[in-house]
Structure 1
């Protein structure tokens, strides 16, 4: 096993966040990263027992598929507001909790979710940190 291969515990972490800490999902760039991602995916596939584990396994599968089939058509990029709404729903966040992440009053967070206020660069940074994704997902870049 090379240094880039993950050290896997006996038990699969139960939460999505724990899985991300164990093996942060990233774009696969080479054969070693592919082997590591495949090893983790196979390990989870044999042990997955809850929705968080299955969701994480689906994400790893998508990353592996994208590397193995680079010419496959991808969906158009999601709009920043769609991404935010999805993550808020998937994480079961209230507007009050979203407001804390954005460092705003919950009423302003609600207006952002309704599309009445724009996501700023600072909001995007805070969201990127909280959800462990690129802040660019939350910005409408041309």
Structure 2
């Protein structure tokens, strides 16, 4: 056995939990805490020896999140409403999208945002146009 393999065998019980997909919330929380500690050590140094480990741990955490905490689908109208609320905009503040009645119909779900409107919203708010489309 090579020295490298001998060292891996010796240290594997300590490293394995960092490279094992969490089976439940307790393991997930431990993995997140361990990754946070490693990220504090790595900082912005992408060449740090532990950067690859942190990346693999992040992949495991992301996979767990996607399975156990999937992001809900958001309609274009819901995205627009959230932006308007955040920025204090009223229905009359988006004339480039349409009249106040058109905006009202979009927000109430009676009308969908079309491609032209999505492009206008994308340019105005610097979000991808696809975010406003219900595909």
TM-score, normalized by length of structure 2?
Answer: 0.49
Q: Which has the higher helix share?
A: 2
Give 1 or 2 for the bigger CA radius of gyration. 2
